[in-house]
Amino acid sequence: MDSPKTPKVLSHANSMKSLRSIKSQKSLRSMRSQKSTQSIRIFNHNHDSYQTCFGCMHVKIATCFIGFFALLGVCLSLMYCVFISQEQRKPNMKLYAIPMIVVILALLYMFVGILQQKAQLLFAFITLQIFLVFSIAVLIPIILLSVACNTLCVLQYFVDITLDHTEYTKSALISLVGLCCQLGIQTWALRAVCGCFRYFTDIQKFEVRQAQTNYV
């Protein structure tokens, strides 16, 4: 016959079971902490929210292209205004250089922000983009209503009203189509730069969290 287990043996078995359960819980906690630290230490630079052009381009690269072409266009426009003012003796053309210089400064701030990955330095260019998109969005219905109502006092700022009615109406419609295309391009540029702003902000937050975890 089997001898019954003594209370000491039962207590020893229970203590062993409790120790095993404690060890298993500790191992699970350590595995979870390792997984969490690994997930925290890896930043997904290629996340879908950091892509533009239907996922074909990163927002940082798109912002670099936008800044380069914007700086090139502003520099060419600035040179054109200076040459026209000197050749045709129109001193008022030099006044257009003031907003262009502001745009150049905003672009330089943006390039420094891209190099240093500081989102705050993109504020100036984002503000200019918002103003530009808003201005184009306001101009489109104004030109459309002016063409529909044949308002010459408004159309004279956009087309040559000395031409025939059909000619300057056609020119106004062409300029309207150009403004619509420009609105689409500027809206995309604004979205890309805002995406780059978010990208740099997320990187800064990630670095702060990583520093806190390393400190702990």
User: Can you tell me the distance from the alpha carbon of 147 to that of 144, in angstroms, rounded to the nearest whole number?
Assistant: 5
61-84, pLDDT tens digit by residue? 999 999 999 989 888 888 877 777
pTM score, whole prediction: 0.72
Q: For the chain, what are the domain ranges? A: 56-215
Per residue in 136-156, pLDDT tens? 999 888 888 888 887 777 777
* pLDDT score of 33 more than 60: no
